[in-house]
Structure 1
Amino acid sequence: MNQVDYADVQGLLRFGYKHMTQARYALLRIKNAAAARAWLRTAPVSNAMLMNPPPTTALQVAFTAPGLRALGVAESVIAGFSHAFRGGMTQENRARELGDVADNAPEYWHWGGPANEVHLVVMFFADPQAFDAFVQASTGDVWNEAFAEAQWLHTENLDGVEPFGFADGISQPQLDWESQQQAAHIRYDYSNVVALGEFLLGYCNEYGKLTDRPLLDPDAANTDLLPALDAPAKKDLGRNGTYLVMRQLEQDVRAFWQFVHRQAGGNEAEAQMLAAAMVGRTRAGDALVPVQQQPIPGTGTNPEQIRQNQFTFDHDPSGARCPFGAHVRRANPRNTDFPGRPTSLLKKLITVLGFGPQGFRDDLMSSVRFHRILRRGREYGCELKPEDALAPAPPDDPRRGLHFICLNANIARQFEFIQNAWMASSKFSGLTGETDPLLGNHQPVPGCPVTSVFTVQRDNALRQRVTGLPQFVMVRGGAYFFLPSLRALRYIARAGDQ
């Protein structure tokens, strides 16, 4: 029942296409629905099946809610998608919760805002020698008739290093493709293995439930769709699909390195230490806390993975090694269902019943297993080394940043929770007056007029309190997309032709 049909899943979820170092994203508006459906019917969309040798090209397609409407998908069908997806990233209350206010507000975005809405994104991946020919072959007369190109987002292969100069893409959840992990059980130890239903619709999530998705009454138009596991009389439009969150994050590399050097009084070693404290890792990607002897399930077995990922923050309760507000600690606190990870049966029983000693931070963070995301983003702009970033910017200094992409089955509980409760919150882990040092907009919020602080905790010494953090990352665009299965894509491609 839970066996995955990889031929029905778009490959981005399983592979990420990291070995295809060239990528470009076409943000499109539909100008001719019939032509758009014709292009979609013949588009060479890549699936998640293993191939030997691996392919040299891949194409993926995802739609916004307005895009589905523009293609002719019925409103009754769209109503089955999640509220967050239907409402969109730019809804006023949602933008406020995500921190997209002031200079980050959607009205200033290059794409995705109220004045420049997009309907779909077509993602091209390829080896360098095959890329141009692949894009040219995939576009053409039908493409030009079907779509108005809102923007092409180019990427840069920085060889695993993000624009600030730190190793990136290190920590990712391992998907339980075989559904071997017991669902809805209590976890006393941190694990990197996450239920498939957290990322793929139509499968059990960490609660042992199926995430809500569009379920249709069977008819001639949806005969190719799979029956729903929880409602066999219905056809499941969401099965083997997922939601794709996309945000263009422009990074001010010069401002970041110039700021940490000023704080360090020009001392290079101290500047590197402060930068690492803000990120939560060294530039090489090493954790700021010691790796542990006991393997963490789903983390990996090779020495590099152990060096960078075999750790939790259990042995850094005071934040003296990795500050509580560090970006990496906010993004993944590596906690479990219960604080302290009780080991004996008696301690587990006491914890479950709600008794026993509790620290003031114990109830401030939800268990991470309910809030993991699968990142698939790529950098853009040319490399600027930290030592070169200390020089004033030339007039033609190119833009740099990250085309952030993540996949999740529940936008509100996964991406939005992380962004709002962990990144943008000034009350994370008992802190006050500070948001994420990298992604925070540092704007005042109700009850907290100052959020531009970063605290470096220390054992047996006064903490270092860094004030006046500027905004290092600006949001330049964003949208919520549905990445359908191949069966659902066929349904969408003929929806308006019924």
Structure 2
Amino acid sequence: MPDTYSQTQTQKQTETGTGLPLRQNTEIQGDILAGFKKDHMQLLFLRFEDEMLARTWLKRLRPRIATTRQVAVFNSEFSRARRYSGGDDPDELNALWRSVSFTYRGMKLLNGNKDPFPVIPPGSTQEAFAQGPAHLDRAKMLGDTGENSPESWLFGNSKDQPVHAVLTVAADQVKDLRSALGQERVEAARHKIVIVFEQDGATLEGSRRGKEHFGFKDGISEPGVKGFDEPNPDNPDQVKGHPGTRIVPAGEFVVGEPRVGGNPTDLPDWAKNGSFQVIRRLAQDVPGWWSQIHERLQELKAEKAVPPDTTREWLAARVVGRWRSGTPVHKCPQFDPPSDAEASKDNDISFRNDPQGEITPLWSHLRKTNPRDGLFVGGQFVPEKEVLDGIRIMRRGIPYGQPFDPAGGESNGPDAQRGLLFICYQSDLVKQFEFIQKDWINEEDFPPRQNPGKDPLVGADADVGRDTTVRFNGCELDFKQFVRTEGAVYAFMPSMSTLDRLAAGSLIEEEKPGGTRDLKAPFTLNAAGSGGNNTVDAGKAKLVMRADGNLVVLDEKNQQRWESGTAGTGADRMTFQEDGDLVLFDNRNQPIWKSGTKGNPGSRLSVQEDGNVAIYAANGMLIWQTSTAH
């Protein structure tokens, strides 16, 4: 009886969202964690011509923006209806969702032409966001050179036509999408907003459904999210019903939520509950892809590196890491199993027994973008939970264009526009998307000291060196590029509250001299001289993070009344964390000093006008103070 009761309670909590609090969130926009998951989508890339009218437009748009709670509830109902119908989409359940994101220039304009960041540290995600992917150094780093260079892009590169915002409209039905787009175009024109570019996307039909244009199942490897996805009772690190799908801390995708290792964020308060969005239009040369697969296969056969009856499907599956159905090569090395209903969600893959890539090549797209438990560095395997989970991204891509069909019309021909609209969310552009693209996909020597070559699927032109294995026997294959970048944008998808701030024209509340300052977590003070704010001033009390690593409280005469005693320890920032703890960290993210108030979520740090600095629990109880009131 107790077990049955517990299971029933857990199920009720899951359905109502009480056991998964992020499902009830009304601050986070709906596409980030829940995912719109619609068959039809259109992105409008917008330029503001009038600052005041743009704010009015945003104020009118805001009620139409979908929240996580709205999308999660619908998706749950849709999934339940599909199960009852034997896997068919329920015709009676339809929805239309909108989301909006802003580039650095767009946020600055709406913020009264004031920089949204107090400081932009070199090498930070703030710098990446401010520069954008078309910046010369960033484009080079990402491999966007030659045919991929920004000067050839359809959007995201022009100084004369800057992108200030991206409005996404997604729907189950084409007619609903068209109706909503008509409304949004009228709204844009009314508020002097120019539609710089429109990018459509649609799920491929028939047997191609759920696949990208090369013909392979897409979107299988997305992570689960702690507090949003239900964990497997037998393995809490994985999503229930999706073996192998790891549950990653929500802070890797949403700013302000807990991150891997508890690493703090140095982003301002307005970024909380938001996410950085990467948009890339990736054109796919489908005939070129299969032609190269055929040519490389002939080379392997000529070298007797593969049996004479080896097929193109066999080699193509190794480039991707999965067969067309989604079945991992690692599980079925020789063929794609027919009628495998579970293949489309098979994430239960371990590369631990294949560190040299003899079964699934190290250069395969699957391993280059997510090495899982098979990354062997310095004589040991790199742990997923402590390290690799912090490099995950949340992908929300969708194909565009008509499938390649030699017997079809011009829109199905080899020169027609088709490809993948790549969209992903993360809390750190540099440590997540850019790291994957630069240090994994485009790095020939990743995994380190094995030099397998670049990812031939989405990387730039590369010579891919084969390990000496039974199948390839030391052969080297040269893949030319068949995926090109035709546009890219970095944007930020704010919380609903921050949308209100942008519509009001100010991201940051004006600080008043004197008066108690109540600070909500996460809040960070950087050491003086290292960039960013280093002082909170309440008149009689000033909380200051000094350059020498000491956190101090000064009075109105700048006389020191309290100190953390951490001068000379290397502490370079103070962070008030979500769990209620006040912590000083060094530049290696190691804690140097703590207030010892961990375990009090919802607390507030108060720099008070009477001279005291204190931490109050969510119920108002005093749990820490400097005792400097005077």
TM-score, scaled to structure 1: 0.78
In the aligned structure 2, how far is the partner of 1:98 from the partner of 1:76? 26
- Structure 2 residue 36 is the aligned partner of structure 1 residue 17: yes
In the aligned structure 2, how far is the partner of 1:180 from the partner of 1:165? 31
Q: Structure 1's 396 and 369: CA in aligned 2 closer, same or farther, altered over 3 A?
A: closer
Q: Structure 1's 326 and 409: CA in aligned 2 closer, same or farther, altered over 3 A?
A: same
- Structure 2 residue 315 is the aligned partner of structure 1 residue 274: yes
Equivalent in the alignment of 1:406 = 424
In the aligned structure 2, how far is the partner of 1:237 from the partner of 1:326? 39
In the aligned structure 1, how far is the partner of 2:413 from the partner of 2:424? 33
Equivalent in the alignment of 1:285 = 326
Measured on the aligned residues, the alpha-carbon RMSD in Å equals: 3.3
Q: In structure 2, the residue corresponding to 1:125 is in which secondary structure?
A: strand
In the aligned structure 2, how far is the partner of 1:303 from the partner of 1:416? 34
In the aligned structure 2, how far is the partner of 1:143 from the partner of 1:305? 46
In the aligned structure 2, how far is the partner of 1:372 from the partner of 1:306? 20
Q: Structure 1's 139 and 431: CA in aligned 2 closer, same or farther, altered over 3 A?
A: same
Q: Structure 1's 33 and 283: CA in aligned 2 closer, same or farther, altered over 3 A?
A: same
Paired residues of 1:260 and 1:274 also in contact (CA < 8 A): yes
Structure 1 residues not aligned, in runs of 5+ = 182-186, 215-235, 292-301, 341-353, 443-450
In the aligned structure 2, how far is the partner of 1:474 from the partner of 1:286? 26
Q: Structure 1's 433 and 144: CA in aligned 2 closer, same or farther, altered over 3 A?
A: farther
Query: Structure 1 residue 280: deviation in Å?
Result: 0.9
- Structure 2 residue 262 is the aligned partner of structure 1 residue 237: no
Paired residues of 1:335 and 1:367 also in contact (CA < 8 A): no
In the aligned structure 2, how far is the partner of 1:191 from the partner of 1:125? 26
Paired residues of 2:223 and 2:246 also in contact (CA < 8 A): yes
Q: In structure 2, the residue corresponding to 1:60 is in which secondary structure?
A: strand
Aligned mate of 1:419, from 437, 456, 461: 437
Q: Structure 1's 486 and 305: CA in aligned 2 closer, same or farther, altered over 3 A?
A: farther
Where do residues 466-485 of structure 1 align in structure 2 (5 Å cutoff)?
A: 466-467=477-478, 469-485=479-495
Where do residues 119-198 of structure 1 align in structure 2 (5 Å cutoff)?
A: 119-128=164-173, 129-141=175-187, 143-158=189-204, 159-177=209-227, 192-198=246-252
Equivalent in the alignment of 1:373 = 393
Deviations 1:214-272 (A, max 9, x none): 2xxxxxxxxxxxxxxxxxxxxx2111111001111111111100111122239885211
- Percentage of identical aligned residues: 29
Deviations 1:337-372 (A, max 9, x none): x959xxxxxxxxxxxxx9xxx26x979xx9421200
Where do residues 88-107 of structure 1 align in structure 2 (5 Å cutoff)?
A: 88-107=132-151
Q: In structure 2, the residue corresponding to 1:140 is in which secondary structure?
A: helix
Q: Structure 1's 73 and 279: CA in aligned 2 closer, same or farther, altered over 3 A?
A: farther
Letter in 2 for 1:209: N
Deviations 1:399-445 (A, max 9, x none): 11111000000110000000000001111113437211011112xxx
Equivalent in the alignment of 2:473 = 462
Q: Structure 1's 474 and 79: CA in aligned 2 closer, same or farther, altered over 3 A?
A: farther
Equivalent in the alignment of 2:58 = 40
Give the total of aligned pairs. 426
Paired residues of 2:326 and 2:343 also in contact (CA < 8 A): no
Q: Structure 1's 492 and 434: CA in aligned 2 closer, same or farther, altered over 3 A?
A: same
Paired residues of 1:33 and 1:146 also in contact (CA < 8 A): no
Equivalent in the alignment of 1:82 = 126
Q: Structure 1's 105 and 254: CA in aligned 2 closer, same or farther, altered over 3 A?
A: same
Deviations 1:108-146 (A, max 9, x none): 211101444311100001121422112223331554433
Aligned mate of 2:404, from 384, 396, 414: 384
- Structure 2 residue 512 is the aligned partner of structure 1 residue 492: no
Query: Structure 1 residue 465: deviation in Å?
Result: 2.0
Equivalent in the alignment of 2:255 = 201
In the aligned structure 1, how far is the partner of 2:138 from the partner of 2:453? 21
Query: Structure 1 residue 157: deviation in Å?
Result: 1.3
Letter in 1 for 2:483: V
Paired residues of 1:325 and 1:431 also in contact (CA < 8 A): no
Deviations 1:58-92 (A, max 9, x none): 01000000111222445343346722111211222
Paired residues of 2:102 and 2:166 also in contact (CA < 8 A): yes
Letter in 1 for 2:30: G
Where do residues 293-312 of structure 1 align in structure 2 (5 Å cutoff)?
A: 304=342, 308-312=346-350
Q: Structure 1's 461 and 23: CA in aligned 2 closer, same or farther, altered over 3 A?
A: closer
Aligned mate of 2:104, from 65, 86, 110: 65
Paired residues of 1:156 and 1:382 also in contact (CA < 8 A): no
Q: Structure 1's 82 and 435: CA in aligned 2 closer, same or farther, altered over 3 A?
A: same
Paired residues of 1:200 and 1:242 also in contact (CA < 8 A): yes
In the aligned structure 1, how far is the partner of 2:282 from the partner of 2:363? 20
In the aligned structure 1, how far is the partner of 2:178 from the partner of 2:464? 46
Q: Structure 1's 146 and 380: CA in aligned 2 closer, same or farther, altered over 3 A?
A: same
TM-score, scaled to structure 2: 0.62
Q: In structure 2, the residue corresponding to 1:152 is in which secondary structure?
A: strand
Aligned mate of 1:452, from 454, 460, 463: 463
Greater RCO (CA < 8 Å, at least 6 residues apart):
1
- Structure 2 residue 299 is the aligned partner of structure 1 residue 254: no
Structure 2 residues not aligned, in runs of 5+ = 1-19, 78-92, 120-124, 232-236, 238-243, 302-307, 333-339, 511-630
Equivalent in the alignment of 1:229 = none
